[in-house]
Chain A
Amino acid sequence: MPAVSKGDGMRGLAVFISDIRNCKSKEAEIKRINKELANIRSKFKGDKALDGYSKKKYVCKLLFIFLLGHDIDFGHMEAVNLLSSNKYTEKQIGYLFISVLVNSNSELIRLINNAIKNDLSSRNPTFMCLALHCIANVGSREMAEAFAGEIPRILVAGDTMDSVKQSAALCLLRLYKTSPDLVLMGEWTSRVVHLLNDQHMGVVTAAISLITCLSQKNPDEFKTCVSLAVSRLSRIVSSASTDLQDYTYYFVPAPWLSCKLLRLLQCYPPPEDGAVKGRLVECLETILNKAQEPPKSKKVQHSNAKNAILFEAISLIIHYDSEPNLLVRACNQLGQFLQHRETNLRYLALESMCTLASSEFSHEAVKTHIETVINALKTERDVSVRQRAADLLYAMCDRSNAKQIVAEMLSYLETADYSIREEMVLKVAILAEKYAVDYSWYVDTILNLIRIAGDYVSEEVWYRVIQIVINRDDVQGYAAKTVFEALQAPACHENMVKVGGYILGEFGNLIAGDPRSSPLVQFNLLHSKFHLCSVPTRALLLSAYIKFINLFPETKSTIQEVLRSDSQIRNSDVELQQRAVEYLKLSSIASTDVLATVLEEMPPFPERESSILAKLKKKKGPGAVSVNELEEGKREGGELNGGGGERGGDNSTIAASNASTPSPSADLLGLRTGPQVSAAPPSAGSLLVDVFSEAGVNDDGFLSSAPPSAVSEDAAPPLPESNELLNKFVCKNNGVLFENQLLQIGIKSEYRQNLGRMYLFYGNKTSVQFVTFTTTVSCPGELQSQLNVQAKPVEPLIEGGAQVQQVINIECLGDFCEAPLLNIKFRYGGALQNLSLKLPVTINKFFQPTEMASHDFFQRWKQLSQPQQEAQKIFKASHAMDTEVIKAKLLGLGMALLENVDPNPENFVCAGVIQTKAQQVGSLLRLEPNAQAQMYRLTLRSSKDTVSKRLCELLAEQF
């Protein structure tokens, strides 16, 4: 916009503004403004007509007063009058006032729209631009309604001036962003794509923003833009820096346009046409080459523009992830930036490398920079850069460098910023566990972790150590020794005391031979920490003491003395008191045999192994499958402290490790859920074994060589427990679907007839944001024709601690058995997380309850008497047989619970109709509990055999 020229300058306005600026206090300012307002009011009174100039001046003053934060409730009419002026400055001020001050529900909106319409249809490009700017600035729904049809016409009309086209494109983008439903695609869309060929670079730049936004919604309609964009890009890239004249910025040709083109290309997969692809690769190579050239200018703007293009190109390369050559080159280029003087460049390089590390082609290349990254972690001054470096280390870690990386991260942890410690601890724990070959190393690492950053170590981490130590005989002695040594430090963290208490209580005998760690010394060491600990830890220590009595009878009297002391036996805490009393009695009454039985060593956590894994293990010997073993160990998490309370926590560890370990091990585990593995035909079980055993033989590290996130782009197989999760939701519509350390997914759903709506709430439980958060809902196999599931897109960014919502619309087309799959992918601190769940959509959700009388019921019951229409199951009750609970569950199922129908009042009968789009399936249910035998007989009859079967399956799990 041209500045108001001096000759046209509004002196009154200038004086007023300088008066305001000179006011000494707020009060003086308010006085001056009140005076001015009164003056303007008297001028606007309407007795005498004002000329355009004074009108403009006063509207300007009002605008200024408004911007100072005062309410303005008059002058709108005058501003609207200005719109119809023929002078540019007057019109401009009018539009300015309106875009700032007029709210959408004003009655003036009709007048304004009229004025805008006039300007749009005028031939004057300046006026058209002003009108377009006003629409874009207001951007309200009303504006969109009024002009959404008009603007595309202006945009693609042949005789429109370039500057107007530019404004129209941006205006349309704004309207599309505010109300996408009003901007309808039409024949103009194809012509918009051709704006990429426009002579005028400004138009291209504006159009590309619009296209990028539109193509995200309708990628197919804009597919043609890829080749156009590539050719445009190649023209820019190959041009000499002087060719583009106005669009050359510090010797870089059209940097903004290039960045936007590259970003547009990131919306699409690599072009299939060989020629186009070749040209694009050439472009990318040129960009990489240019980065190597010496800079043409020392100015920072030059390097900024150049690097902007380069980084955009690299993210395109990463997006394609198909050109090993380019990926490696990009990686090398980034490697150079790692040592650059500019902090911002180092940050960006680390961030991009994080994504490169997850590509199988460039993982090795990234690994060559490990020294530099470690150095950055140690010496970098900027905390955000250090954080990125830590992320990158985590992402590039694999079996070969795990020891080094974990050691570096541990040493960094001592000086790390408090804000990132928790995250670092989690990362170290995950890495140490994932790549542990040598268990003494693992134990050392975790104990070190607790020593260095005890406050940040979550419960799960130390549960894990104990599980592993208990399950592995070979490290028990070592662990006991290490723990004993660690406890000798004058001040240790409470978590350390917990681990120490547990391990010495179990395996203290293994080191008791050494006089330096004789039983009494061990006990005294533990007890010296006792008084500094919280109640749960003390309870754990008391348990350890009673185990000592069993392990070392010679300590009995000392320990009994301790238990008998007032501070234990009369402790105000009930738990401690009870333990003290019980253990004291136990130790004094029970014979040694009884004691030995009661206080026997904890059994190893059972490993529920699949036969495939067992075979694999036999072939390779222990150690090679350690990852699986770890996973296995985790699965059994809960039993640890004999307390059911910890179960929930451990479950989340499983989930976390699964989520963060989309490695082959997850694949293997996924096998157990059966048909999801597409690699092998699910029926040929024996064949499957061969496949895996061979893989084990041929490839020393089937488990280790494949980088951790090689499968990242594919959806992870559904979590093994997802079936259980599904069952949880058969009889209810709301609840928590899934939870691990990072993410919580809540669910709320409602169903009517054959339609359903589901709200998913994704909550970020960490303090770090999740980026590129995407979810996809898919219907595997024939479910596609049975269920129509539409998920609204979800925000790609979840701030730490924030929650986002996703709406899923479901339409039931026909009856179905499977559940749709929900795949969630996001980056947490640089590492890709990938997990799949089953959405709890089951056939019973589409039930409509039907009330009927007794004889009606039995009449229908008889009608459905064909054998395939009935499904029956007799099963043992897995929950208490409480009538009210059963009733609630049956109601939750969706059917109508019919009272006084069955002659036996103990029995439950229900009736309902399943509404699908294709047909309605009437279903009847009869549930006969047998309280003596704790058994149920469940009978289902419905007009369709698959429905009866499925319902029977679903329901049998509920009681």
Chain B
Amino acid sequence: MIGGLFIYNHKGEVLISRVYRDDIGRNAVDAFRVNVIHARQQVRSPVTNIARTSFFHVKRSNIWLAAVTKQNVNAAMVFEFLYKMCDVMTAYFGKISEENIKNNFVLIYELLDEILDFGYPQNSETGALKTFITQQGIKGQTKEEQSQITSQVTGQIGWRREGIKYRRNELFLDVLESVNLLMSPQGQVLSAHVSGRVVMKSYLSGMPECKFGMNDKIVIDKQGKGGTTDDAGKSGKQSIAIDDCTFHQCVRLSKFDSERSISFIPPDGEYELMRYRTTKDIILPFRVIPLVREVGRTKLEVKVVIKSNFKPSLLAQKIEVRIPTPLNTSGVQVICMKGKAKYKASENAIVWKIKRMAGMKESQISAEIELLPTNDKKKWARPPISMNFEVPFAPSGLKVRYLKVFESKLNYSDHDVIKWVRYIGRSGIYETRC
């Protein structure tokens, strides 16, 4: 269980320190600063063990969040909690920055008291927390309201209160995916996977029962057996194999286990319904074809072609190609047909940016790199070319088939709910070796 939680700024000064258990002393604060924040090495392990004490940390911009424990805890649980904690803080006061943390330290301590009890994580649902931890001071809550909060927080459906009313019942559904790729110079896929999230924003009255359907292979196959063969053949192609997934606490897991249907009573406002990962039949939106030629000891010629590989009607945005340059680069000339390219010395890379690009197109950049002869015999390691982009479809091929809303008590049906669905595919670590 978590013994304590510290928040540091980039210099290693402690902004927030909350100790939950006696086995964590004050010196733990310094141990982390000395051994992790001020450590010389560039790559830091998220879990550090110092003197039989484990430190789990995540970094948000310049802020370090570290959970400390002496026990053998479930590391995934601790990180899940830290991420949740970041979400909660963001929901309360926006960006996590040193100034925001300093300005809201009372609130943060209050939150820490609520979401961790003797080191055990408690309800960390923002919506629920906001009902009783507010920044506006103590509202004149009536006794009834107070008891309502108590019954909600301690009740079966802790994430939603009763008696919510909207004039327009609306529902937003975003499928956000990030696609990761490592490709050999010859165009062979070495590893690729998509990690996706389904994020919902619901403004629904009452206690609605929702059911979410997507083109999960298992469900489709099951239905295919019952339905016509023609139907099965058609949808079978479009179904996807999900490797693993996790759900928001509102989803009834027993139903998912038995029928593989996702049904739930949604929290109010924004939340993440599920997370998943796929590795098969991924649509790679871009193909990078690198060509690097060393001309003597002091010159390097680089040519990179990118090809977009999706429907011509769709537009990719925010495309950025990053071509690493050797450490002894002394000058760079770049020519590109589309977008803008620049040598960024501070990052040791040529950065090529294209605002928009339609599907089934290709574009090219060529660069001449001058090198300074060094007495170092080390050869350049040739780091991979990386890429960033955003496309309006799901690279995993996931499709939302339906999202049904049932509310028996109130007088609205599935048809009255306005639903919005959006797909966004982003690049994760999208690299091609050169």
Is A bound to B? Answer: yes
- The chain A residues found within 8 Å of chain B, CB to CB, are 24-26, 31-32, 34-35, 37-39, 41-42, 44-45, 69, 73-74, 76, 106-108
Q: Which residues of chain A have C-beta atoms less than 8 A from B329's C-beta?
A: 38, 41
A25 touching B10 by the CB < 8 A rule? yes
A45 touching B347 by the CB < 8 A rule? no
B328's contact among A25, A31, A73, A106, by CB below 8 Å, is which? A73
B346 touching A32 by the CB < 8 A rule? yes
Q: Which residues of chain B have C-beta atoms less than 8 A from A107's C-beta?
A: 375
Q: Can you list 9 A-B pairs, Cβ within 8 angstroms, ordered by A? A: A25-B10, A34-B347, A35-B345, A41-B328, A42-B331, A73-B327, A73-B376, A74-B376, A108-B375
B348's contact among A34, A44, A76, by CB below 8 Å, is which? A34
B328 touching A74 by the CB < 8 A rule? yes
B65 to chain A, nearest CB (A): 16
B141 on the A face (CB < 8 A)? no
CA distance A38 to B378 in the complex (A): 18
**A-B interface, 7 closest residue pairs, ranked by CB to CB distance from nearest:** A38-B345, A31-B346, A73-B376, A35-B346, A41-B330, A45-B330, A35-B345
B372 touching A34 by the CB < 8 A rule? no
Q: Which residues of chain B have C-beta atoms less than 8 A from A31's C-beta?
A: 346-347
A45 touching B370 by the CB < 8 A rule? yes
B40 on the A face (CB < 8 A)? yes
B45 on the A face (CB < 8 A)? no
B312 to chain A, nearest CB (A): 38
Q: Which residues of chain A have C-beta atoms less than 8 A from B370's C-beta?
A: 45
Q: Which residues of chain A have C-beta atoms less than 8 A from B62's C-beta?
A: 24-25
Chain B, interface residues (CB within 8 Å), range: 10 to 19
B374 on the A face (CB < 8 A)? yes
CA distance A108 to B375 in the complex (A): 10
B375 touching A73 by the CB < 8 A rule? yes
Name the residue of chain B whose CB is nearest to the CB of A42. B330
Name the residue of chain A whose CB is nearest to the CB of B345. A38
Interface string of B307-349 (1 = CB under 8 A from A): 0000000000000000000011111000000000000011110
B10 touching A24 by the CB < 8 A rule? yes
B430 to chain A, nearest CB (A): 21
Q: Which residues of chain A have C-beta atoms less than 8 A from B330's C-beta?
A: 38, 41-42, 44-45
List residues 205-224 of chain B with CB under 8 A from any CB of chain A: none
A74 touching B346 by the CB < 8 A rule? no
Q: Which residues of chain A have C-beta atoms less than 8 A from B374's C-beta?
A: 73-74
A41 touching B372 by the CB < 8 A rule? yes
CA distance A31 to B372 in the complex (A): 20
Name the residue of chain A whose CB is nearest to the CB of B373. A74
Q: Which residues of chain B have C-beta atoms less than 8 A from A37's C-beta?
A: 327, 345
Given contacts A37-B327, A45-B370, 11 further A-B contacts (CB under 8 A): A24-B62, A31-B347, A37-B345, A38-B346, A41-B330, A41-B372, A45-B330, A69-B40, A73-B327, A73-B376, A74-B375
**Residue among A32, A42, A44, A107 having the largest count of chain B Cβ atoms under 10 Å:** A42
Q: Which residues of chain A have C-beta atoms less than 8 A from B331's C-beta?
A: 42, 45
CA distance A642 to B279 in the complex (A): 74
Q: Which residues of chain A have C-beta atoms less than 8 A from B376's C-beta?
A: 73-74
Known: A69-B40, A74-B328. A44 touches B372 (CB 8 A): yes
List residues 334-385 of chain B with CB under 8 A from any CB of chain A: 345-348, 370, 372, 374-376, 378
B346 touching A39 by the CB < 8 A rule? no
**Residue among A25, A32, A39, A107 having the largest count of chain B Cβ atoms under 10 Å:** A25
Q: Which residues of chain B have C-beta atoms less than 8 A from A32's C-beta?
A: 346
A45 to chain B, nearest CB (A): 5
**Residue among A35, A69, A73, A108 having the largest count of chain B Cβ atoms under 10 Å:** A73
Q: Which residues of chain A have C-beta atoms less than 8 A from B347's C-beta?
A: 31, 34
Interface string of B165-207 (1 = CB under 8 A from A): 0000000000000000000000000000000000000000000
CA distance A25 to B60 in the complex (A): 13
CA distance A642 to B330 in the complex (A): 83
Name the residue of chain A whose CB is nearest to the CB of B98. A24
B167 to chain A, nearest CB (A): 47
B64 to chain A, nearest CB (A): 11
A59 to chain B, nearest CB (A): 15
B374 to chain A, nearest CB (A): 5
**Residue among A35, A39, A76 having the largest count of chain B Cβ atoms under 10 Å:** A35
Q: Which residues of chain A have C-beta atoms less than 8 A from B346's C-beta?
A: 31-32, 34-35, 38
Name the residue of chain B whose CB is nearest to the CB of A69. B40
B124 to chain A, nearest CB (A): 28
CA distance A44 to B10 in the complex (A): 35
Q: Which residues of chain A have C-beta atoms less than 8 A from B348's C-beta?
A: 34, 38
Q: Which residues of chain B have C-beta atoms less than 8 A from A73's C-beta?
A: 327-328, 374-376, 378
B346 to chain A, nearest CB (A): 4
CA distance A32 to B344 in the complex (A): 11
Q: Which residues of chain A have C-beta atoms less than 8 A from B345's C-beta?
A: 34-35, 37-39
**Residue among A34, A44, A69, A76 having the largest count of chain B Cβ atoms under 10 Å:** A34
CA distance A44 to B375 in the complex (A): 14
Q: Which residues of chain A have C-beta atoms less than 8 A from B327's C-beta?
A: 37, 73
A76 touching B40 by the CB < 8 A rule? no
Name the residue of chain B whose CB is nearest to the CB of A74. B374
CA distance A693 to B79 in the complex (A): 85
A606 to chain B, nearest CB (A): 53
A34 to chain B, nearest CB (A): 5
A349 to chain B, nearest CB (A): 36
CA distance A45 to B328 in the complex (A): 10
Q: Which residues of chain B have C-beta atoms less than 8 A from A69's C-beta?
A: 40
Name the residue of chain A whose CB is nearest to the CB of B38. A26
B261 to chain A, nearest CB (A): 46
**Residue among A37, A76, A108 having the largest count of chain B Cβ atoms under 10 Å:** A37
B372 touching A74 by the CB < 8 A rule? yes
B369 to chain A, nearest CB (A): 11
CA distance A352 to B201 in the complex (A): 81
Q: Which residues of chain B have C-beta atoms less than 8 A from A25's C-beta?
A: 10, 62
Q: Which residues of chain A have C-beta atoms less than 8 A from B375's C-beta?
A: 73-74, 76, 106-108
A425 to chain B, nearest CB (A): 29
B250 to chain A, nearest CB (A): 38
Q: Which residues of chain B have C-beta atoms less than 8 A from A38's C-beta?
A: 329-330, 345-346, 348
CA distance A41 to B330 in the complex (A): 5
CA distance A45 to B299 in the complex (A): 12
Interface string of B372-406 (1 = CB under 8 A from A): 10111010000000000000000000000000000
B57 to chain A, nearest CB (A): 15
Name the residue of chain B whose CB is nearest to the CB of A25. B10
Q: Which residues of chain A have C-beta atoms less than 8 A from B378's C-beta?
A: 73
CA distance A76 to B378 in the complex (A): 16
CA distance A913 to B213 in the complex (A): 97
Name the residue of chain A whose CB is nearest to the CB of B376. A73
B372's contact among A24, A35, A45, by CB below 8 Å, is which? A45
Q: Which residues of chain A have C-beta atoms less than 8 A from B372's C-beta?
A: 41, 44-45, 74
Q: Which residues of chain A have C-beta atoms less than 8 A from B10's C-beta?
A: 24-26
CA distance A59 to B378 in the complex (A): 22
CA distance A773 to B56 in the complex (A): 48
Name the residue of chain B whose CB is nearest to the CB of A46. B372
A635 to chain B, nearest CB (A): 47
CA distance A76 to B328 in the complex (A): 14
CA distance A44 to B348 in the complex (A): 17
B251 to chain A, nearest CB (A): 39
Q: Which residues of chain B have C-beta atoms less than 8 A from A106's C-beta?
A: 375
B108 to chain A, nearest CB (A): 22
CA distance A392 to B10 in the complex (A): 51
Q: Which residues of chain B have C-beta atoms less than 8 A from A39's C-beta?
A: 345
CA distance A73 to B328 in the complex (A): 9
B347 to chain A, nearest CB (A): 7
CA distance A25 to B63 in the complex (A): 10
Name the residue of chain B whose CB is nearest to the CB of A106. B375
List residues 263-321 of chain B with CB under 8 A from any CB of chain A: none
A129 to chain B, nearest CB (A): 29
Name the residue of chain B whose CB is nearest to the CB of A45. B330
CA distance A24 to B11 in the complex (A): 8
Q: Which residues of chain B have C-beta atoms less than 8 A from A45's C-beta?
A: 330-331, 370, 372
Name the residue of chain B whose CB is nearest to the CB of A38. B345
